[in-house]
Chains A and B, each alone.
Chain A
């Protein structure tokens, strides 16, 4: 009996020990890399920089590589939903007012040269985003992510050197996204700026340079940060390609290929399984498909077009999936150009203008466009019914059901005619802009034009290949183009729907929406945020400001031997879970 009990205790202890050893992301022997496995990915462009936070380096293609060679506080899964990586570090909201956030990197997290990842790295990342250090005449990091509203904050570094505490000047609800996760090693940056500094002293000196606001030093640091990491071939100085993530760069062949091998010191986060990743530069989609067929690459991804999708689906031994991306097509109506949608045209009668806008939107054949132009490529895509949520994202379903988009789901000729009659049957001439050489947009335009004509709305072809630079210049009444979401940050949409926002091209202004954004900028509760955004969504539809239509389809094909691949609408697309990819023998 006694013996038995001891046995039980021993078993429990042993099990506990096992569980512990499983948890403590320990030494290298917990690696799950399968020897001899390799995956080759085709991508449109080569590597131009390993600093994907600089304006020059901020491309999808660099981002895919740095996503694999860095650790992150968070990533987006394919829902899309944010997932935090607590094994790497934490972002804690210490206090709401003044907003104080503590960004901590776990001890034991190291760069591939053995140096620890510390708050100095976080600090460098933080400082690079300040407006005062993106000054063409002074220190100029030329960061892609400056001007985000973190200016004027105060920072301090904890005693152990692992935490950076930021006291934000203005509430910053997207604080979790503030410190981008692909950091550069501060000690390397400093040593390049000041050759002769010892590795030991470098991080400390860098911190000193920033705390004392030493502009001469910062200027040098900024120069290194913004240009020294622009690489197109394997550098002779290997410190330029350090990694704190699952993989590290083994070699870069200019405009041809990039090879990644496992970073053996890495054990803070998801464990990758593949022993070698190779990225090959192949710009032509047909060439990508044929290379996949010939076994030269095993994964291809990109925007879907009819030919590529059809060619991919015809291949055997290849899994082909079409999926929605975060780029969404929509029609914007201009409020402030004296055109048919501007109240000024009707002597300031806002109701009349609203009725005309609603009538116009009611006749946009949204479902028809999806059926005829998107489904032949990607039959699984659906109408995009929300201005502020991506389909799949938490909040989309509720918002889409309640925002009134249902009124515009199908062409409603009777409804449109009734609205026009109410408005006194004005002559409606709509100058409609779109990318003229873009075949799909031209077809969308044709469908819209024909549909609007049924109610006597005259849609004038103002197609223009320079539409991008003409946005917001009031020369058109309606425009068809796509916005590209890059994150799930909640403040992004203020630029589009807030009065005077940077992407508010149509002069939309609604006091309730502005008030919602004001509240949103100080509200840290996710449920509240969703409610406020849903309210913005609802007003945008009620005011008939614009109509979302569909998300651009992506098409991805991979050798059926590779498992666990799935697409993510947000960057880095299919690579989001590369650490789960496995290869069947």
Chain B
């Protein structure tokens, strides 16, 4: 293990060194950092050109300049990392630290959501292989996958951003949508749940009626301008989610687990009032802390109910508590929505650019308002990134699950009389996720590299924008800074992926 690690690291460092030299040469020869000055009519142009080329060390040949740069990196071992300055004189290290922060902020949500929804879609479409649902989902996934991101972004801004903001001026849902959307929802649900014609028809009817009811309520009460869930909705949704958790994890026949979920939802409903009272003084850390407390309470309830396996019930309790807590937090955000929409952004809440409303902290320090502001700014870029990367994950998990479902041990599991839930959730699903972990580990590495187009179009100055600007201005130091950060992270996560794989899959061992 240790030899493996050492070998990997030594090889990686050598690869990075060679690559950095190559990239440096390419970057240094990719353009003319003085081009803007050359067409100036200023009388002191010659002096300026001379000054700039001294400043950027253009008088030193590029291969020699590389070693100056490398020396700065090597000094980093002693804690004095010097990546030089950009063409505008900013230290590259500080540019990188802010850019990495912005990129992580932008990409994390879309990354997590893409994995969750990708896996969900992949699993459901694998279970309904070759059904209408499978085909439509595959079609859509590939459609989004193949759309260029700047196009998706512009379309999202036009419809989900600008048109939706216009719609909020009078949020009454048009009749054709009021009829069309329920039908669509019915179609989707009967596709997912499947079954014989009677069951499909029933599913269709229920889904359509529920959707219609919700839409009608939203439209009639102008809910979108002053949204809230309220205790009844939280109760109903909480019970629904609890039931789902029970069905998926332990099965409805495990009564103790079911009782745990119900009790946790009831406790959540009580906590709703308390939370509301103290919410104004909370910040992001105390909210996260309360989340941990909620999970603890859920686990405790499950533990006390015991049942055939007390830790199973505890797990049900924990997950349910987290979900109910999430509902309560969402409801709390909603309470401030109207205030935010009317006072902070003058009635046009969905933002098309930037990470935050400028000077928001001058207006308010409320965690809830600032959270809403982050949400409205993250919504469109997250959607556009998610739609595009969803396809990959859904295809991976679909293929993996199908692969696993055809394995002998699944047949054995079914033959020994395990119910379908246990077969799929415990024996198939978990194993299907193993190959996905490596993909995810690679993607985390790529994540830090940023999304050039999405960042540019949504005006987030993260790593992608830094890279793009550096390339356009022939800003070699900035470009190398980008390279060193992304390069090192990709190498690290490649190693991590290899190690993870061997940990998760006992059939694979790291060669010594």
Contact = CB atoms under 8 A, between A and B. Distances in A.
A439 interface: no
Given A469-B35, A471-B38, A486-B42, A291 B47 contact: no
A40 B357 CA distance: 11
A502 B39 CA distance: 11
A287 B381 CA distance: 12
A533 interface: no
Given A55-B52, A55-B55, A492-B43, A256 B355 contact: yes
B346 A482 contact: no
B44 A146 contact: yes
Contact of B88 (A40, A56, A131, A148): A56
B43 A295 contact: no
A126 B241 CA distance: 72
A146 B47 CA distance: 7
A415 interface: no
B463 to A, nearest CB: 12
A280 B43 contact: no
B51 A296 contact: no
B34 interface: yes
Given A255-B461, A283-B456, A469-B32, A494 B356 contact: no
A284 B358 contact: no
B52 to A, nearest CB: 6
A59 B432 CA distance: 54
B40 interface: yes
A491 interface: yes
Interface string A464-507: 01101101000000000111111101011111100000110000
Nearest to A45: B469
A281 B41 contact: no
Interface string A270-304: 00000000101111101100110111110000000
Contacts of B348: 294-296
A48 B88 contact: yes
Nearest to B35: A468
A284 B457 contact: yes
B89 interface: yes
Contact of A283 (B38, B355, B356, B465): B465
Interface in B429-452: none
A142 B54 CA distance: 11
B461 A256 contact: yes
Interface string B370-410: 00000000000000000000000000000000000000000
A238 to B, nearest CB: 16
B96 to A, nearest CB: 12
Nearest to B101: A254
A479 to B, nearest CB: 11
B44 A484 contact: no
B157 A290 contact: yes
Contacts of B351: 294, 296
Interface string A568-585: 000000000000000000
A550 B351 CA distance: 38
Given A232-B90, A283-B465, A149 B459 contact: no
B46 interface: yes
Contact of A503 (B32, B41, B94, B465): B41
B143 interface: no
A347 interface: no
B98 interface: yes
A484 B461 contact: no
Given A283-B459, A287-B457, A468-B34, A484 B358 contact: no
A376 interface: no
Interface stretch (B158-166, B181-189, B227-235, B320-328): B158-166
Contact of B456 (A57, A255, A284, A294): A284
Interface residues of B, number: 50
Contact of B55 (A40, A142, A255): A142
Contact of A280 (B34, B52, B459): B459
A183 to B, nearest CB: 19
Contact of A131 (B35, B47, B162, B459): B47
B31 interface: yes
A291 B352 contact: yes
A287 B459 contact: yes
A251 interface: yes
Interface in A230-285: 230, 232, 250-251, 253-257, 259, 278, 280-284
Contacts of A59: 88
Interface in A488-534: 489, 491-496, 502-503
A282 B353 contact: yes
Contacts of A551: none
A46, A290, A469, A483 interface centre (most CB from chain B within 10 Å) = A290
A144 interface: yes
A284 B459 contact: yes
B505 interface: no
Interface string B147-183: 0001000100110011001000000000000000000
A257 B355 CA distance: 10
A230 B89 contact: yes
B41, B158, B358 interface centre (most CB from chain A within 10 Å) = B41
A101 B359 CA distance: 44
A257 B359 contact: yes
Given A493-B41, A502-B45, A56 B352 contact: no
A57 B89 CA distance: 9
B354 A280 contact: yes
A159 to B, nearest CB: 33
B458 interface: yes
Contact of B358 (A145, A146, A253, A255): A253
A251 B154 CA distance: 30
A142 B89 CA distance: 11
B309 interface: no
B32 A290 contact: no
Contacts of B88: 48-49, 56, 59
A287 B154 CA distance: 8
Nearest to A485: B41
B276 interface: no
B38 A290 contact: no
Contact of A281 (B161, B352, B362, B461): B461
A537 B162 CA distance: 51
B358 A256 contact: yes
B55 A294 contact: no
A57 B42 CA distance: 16
A152 interface: no
B41 A496 contact: yes
A491 B368 CA distance: 59
A227 interface: yes
A59, A144, A146, A494 interface centre (most CB from chain B within 10 Å) = A144
A287 B41 contact: no
Interface in A35-57: 40, 46, 48-49, 55-57
A259 B362 CA distance: 11
Contacts of A468: 32, 34-35, 38-39
B352 A294 contact: yes
Contacts of B355: 256
Contacts of B89: 48-49, 56-57, 227, 230
A49, A59, A148, A254 interface centre (most CB from chain B within 10 Å) = A254
A49 B88 CA distance: 9
A306 to B, nearest CB: 16
A180 to B, nearest CB: 12
A502 B354 CA distance: 42
A489 B34 contact: no
Nearest to B49: A502
A147, A297, A469, A482 interface centre (most CB from chain B within 10 Å) = A147
Given A55-B52, A136-B51, A295-B348, 6 more contacts: A55-B55, A145-B44, A148-B44, A256-B354, A295-B346, A496-B41
8 closest pairs, A vs B, by CB?
A: A147-B47, A56-B89, A255-B461, A468-B35, A257-B358, A147-B44, A502-B46, A282-B459
9 contacts: A55-B55, A256-B461, A281-B461, A284-B457, A290-B352, A295-B348, A296-B354, A484-B41, A495-B43
